Amino acid sequence: MGDDPRIDRVIENGEIVTGSGVAPGDLLIAGEKIVAVSAPGAVPLHESVERIDATGKWVLPGMVDVHVHLREPGYVHKEDITTCTQAAAAGGVTTVFGMPNLNPVTKTRQILEELFDLYDAKSIVD
């Protein structure tokens, strides 16, 4: 595991919060995905791995907000995808579900696919 070339980042020595409780540990990350959780320092890692020291900090899963008004397209004078998702990320939200009250209204597959492309280009979170 420690020699796995996919592992490019570790959040180490944190207090990892799960549904089962809180325990000290390291999160091993490849790309943008957690690939393993280990006891602190239990997995030897290559020196090129980015290390983020979480000593004294809780490491929590990202939250999901299933009711978000992204306002784009159509109402960017109120907010846009980038500013909305920046605020979400600052609050620990890693996934948002956009409401369909846009202009044009999300009522066809084509409009939905265009929105996916727009969100992929401008969103800070999933």
Domain extents for the chain? Answer: 7-59, 63-122
Q: What are the phi and psi torsion angles at 74 (to 5°)? A: 110, -35
**7-59 is classed in which CATH architecture?**
Roll (2.30)
CA distances from 14 to 17, 40, 56, 115 (A): 9, 8, 6, 37
CA-angle at 94, arms to 89 and 96, nearest 5°: 100
Predicted TM-score (pTM) of this structure? 0.65
| pLDDT value at residue 3 | 56
**Over pLDDT 70: what percentage of the chain?**
96
CA dist 42 and 54 (Å) reads 16
| 2-38 tens-digit pLDDT | 556 688 999 999 999 988 999 999 999 998 889 999 9
| pLDDT value at residue 4 | 62
Listed as ranges, residues in the chain with pLDDT below 50 are none
